[in-house]
Amino acid sequence: MFSILRINTATFETKTEVFNSNVFLLGGRTLSSRMVSREVPATCDPFGKKNKLFFCNGALSGTIVSSSDRLSIGGKSPLTGGIKESNAGGIVGVRMAQQGLRCIALEDAPEADAGWKIVVIGKEQTEFVDGEILAGKGVYEKSELLSDRFGIKAGCITIGPTAEKLLYATGLACSDPHGVCSRYAGRGGLGAVMASKKIIALVILNDGEVKPEFKDQDAFKVGTRKIVQLLKENPVSSQFTKYGTAAMVDICQALKVLPTQNFRHGVMEGAEKINAQSMYDTIKERGGEGQTQHACMHPCAIQCSNVYPDKDGKLLCSPVEYETIALMGSNLCLKDLDTIATLNRIANDAGVDTLDVGAAIGVAMEAGLAEFGDTEAAIALMEEVRDLTPLGRILASGCKIAAKVLGVRHAPHVLGQAIPAYEPRGTKGMAMTYLSSPMGADHTFGFTLRDEEVPTSKEGKVALSKKFQLIGSRMDAMGMCNFVRYSVRDDMMPLLDLVRFRYGVDISEEEFDNIVKETLRIEHQFNTDAGITALDYRFSETFYEEAQPETGEVMDITDEESALARKW
């Protein structure tokens, strides 16, 4: 039931091991971070033989539980220099489950001049297939080639041309239910880590025959329906059903935390042009392939995703999410959804994270390489990324390196990872979370914004951030979509019951939270062992010295406070 498939990328040897510990039952980040901590030396070169890449599905993967199929990918991050778990929706997790796998490990590394390989995992065997045909191609084309060869229902993970060049802001693209590799584990440069092992794609064939077993199938079915009910009843997740994550634009604009002009401002005049209603209306008006209420995985009762169509109703980009709307939109003073969707599409094709590269383009605009608000210039910069020009490589290295090379002090990142779409001087809760995440600035980790009475005040934010760090991490811990958290934040038993009905293993809320906290301790310890100190968990000095104009706020969180928020 709990098998790990170990794949040596230098010798092409493979080995299947069976886990004999319940610690690994939960899968997800619980598993990936423990694997990284146990098997990857913290100080190793992320692109060397000693780093490993772990792909872990969750405890309920392969069942019919809504939103249970996030794939956690773990390794040492080149972007942050610390531990990384990045997760994505799509169909890879379920394909792994159908092959009886809870974890796939890519280990070792061949010489840098070795040829590209595709790893193909099927019920009979694991094969290394020549991957040169994919080299240099965009993710969309790679995706088509993979679908053509391995079937539209194969679970594929591939990388873009930027990752092939070992650039830091590159992700892993996982196939969605339509066979398109559009579901990104975008953060932390794990795309480049896979490239360093000369694996250009990982394919799990749709020939798996392992079916989930249940200790109590009837109870499991009832419990599954309960999750759907909870999701439907919850006002936040149900709002996402209609509008998707773009609903955050108006909220953030109202709270003055909408990243604008390279995180110099928290309000953008004209933000309504890129808000949820605008997006909804545009998609509905254009029709064609456009779609709201779209699911990144099956089954899902939230369906927060979308398909954004061009003027002719043809698919332009799917999905277009709030984080991208902010980082590649307001942060660049762009007020046009078509431009944002175009940037998003090029980013997906190039294989880069939209947040890190959006932030890098913001830095480039501040450096004077283009005007803020210039849609054509923004697209031209993204094309440089896709074309791998020197400037494109700078941008695909993320905003920290871009700021160094372009001479910009106001670099919006923590631990090298770009700040997500909530301007931190205006929300000290989110700021505390950014400073507390072992992964670098991260919006899925400890989302306080909806629960801050006075967002600009740091009062009580250590406790608030920790509360939501735990709530968010519970989802990652077992491979659930982060948006399920709204429905179970006060009562995890509906999910833990499902674990019990499936595996016959009783985990109390307290035991579960102890596992989650232990994961955080393990992750922070890895970072410490990697040479990351308390002094690294800081914003750029400009955030502390220059007030965000709309709120009049500077960053005022001290090292001591953020250290408390990292202590578990």
Tokens (6 digits) for 177: 């239910």
Residue 533 makes contact with a second copy by CB under 8 A: yes
* Alpha-carbon span 28 to 43, nearest angstrom: 24
- Give the residue with the Cβ less far from a second copy, 48 or 270: 48
Residue 409 makes contact with a second copy by CB under 8 A: yes
Residue 377 makes contact with a second copy by CB under 8 A: no
Interface with a second copy (CB under 8 A), residue from 127, 207, 338, 536: 536
Residue 262 makes contact with a second copy by CB under 8 A: no
Task: Tell me, residue by residue from 73 to 102, as one string, x for binding to a second copy by CB under 8 A and - for no binding.
Answer: -----x------------------------
Q: At its nearest, how many Å lie between a second copy and the CB of residue 565?
A: 18
Residue 405 makes contact with a second copy by CB under 8 A: yes
Find the radius of gyration of the CA atoms of the chain: 22
Q: At its nearest, how many Å lie between a second copy and the CB of residue 47?
A: 5
* Cβ atoms of residues 510 and 557 within 8 Å: no
Interface with a second copy (CB under 8 A), residue from 538, 557, 562, 565: 538
Backbone angles phi, psi at 263, to 5 degrees: 60, 25
Residue 165 makes contact with a second copy by CB under 8 A: yes
Stretch that binds a second copy, among 328-336, 449-457, 539-547, 550-558 (CB under 8 A): 539-547
Q: At its nearest, how many Å lie between a second copy and the CB of residue 528?
A: 9
Peptide bond into 161 cis (omega under 30): no
Tokens (6 digits) for 469: 């760090």
Residue where the block lists tokens 């660049």: 332
Residue 116 makes contact with a second copy by CB under 8 A: no
Stretch that binds a second copy, among 27-35, 85-93, 483-491, 525-533 (CB under 8 A): 525-533
Stretch that binds a second copy, among 28-36, 163-171, 466-474, 512-520 (CB under 8 A): 163-171
Residue 407 makes contact with a second copy by CB under 8 A: yes
**Nearest alpha-carbon partner for 134 in 112, 114, 161:** 161
Q: At its nearest, how many Å lie between a second copy and the CB of residue 54?
A: 20
Residue where the block lists tokens 């069942």: 63
Q: At its nearest, how many Å lie between a second copy and the CB of residue 367?
A: 9
CA distances to 186, 331, 340, 366, 537 from 269, in Å:
29, 12, 16, 18, 32
Residue 240 makes contact with a second copy by CB under 8 A: no
Site residues for a second copy, window 180-219 (CB under 8 A)? 192
Residue 45 makes contact with a second copy by CB under 8 A: yes
Please list the alpha-helical segments (H only) found in 176-260: 190-196, 217-233, 235-243, 248-255
- Indicate if the alpha-carbon torsion angle 566, 451, 400, 31 is positive or negative: positive
The site for a second copy, by CB under 8 A, has a size of 37
Residue 112 makes contact with a second copy by CB under 8 A: yes
Task: Tell me, residue by residue from 385 to 404, as one string, x for binding to a second copy by CB under 8 A and - for no binding.
Answer: ----xxx-xx--x---x--x
* Cβ atoms of residues 199 and 386 within 8 Å: no
* Cβ atoms of residues 185 and 356 within 8 Å: no
Q: At its nearest, how many Å lie between a second copy and the CB of residue 167?
A: 7
Helix (H) or strand (E) holding 71: strand 71-76
Q: At what angle do helices 337-350 and 354-366 cross, to 10 degrees?
A: 110
- Give the residue with the Cβ less far from a second copy, 165 or 521: 165
Q: At its nearest, how many Å lie between a second copy and the CB of residue 208?
A: 35
Residue 540 makes contact with a second copy by CB under 8 A: yes
Q: 117-121 and 199-204 as β-strands: parallel, antiparallel, unpaired?
A: parallel
Interface with a second copy (CB under 8 A), residue from 49, 467, 489, 517: 49
Return the C-alpha torsion angle 438, 327, 166, 54, nearest 10: 40
- Sheet hosting strand 83-88, strand order edge to edge: 14-18, 3-8, 101-107, 53-56, 71-76, 83-88
Binding site for a second copy (CB under 8 A): 43-45, 47-50, 78, 112, 165-168, 192, 389-391, 393-394, 397, 401, 404-407, 409, 530-531, 533-536, 538, 540-542, 545
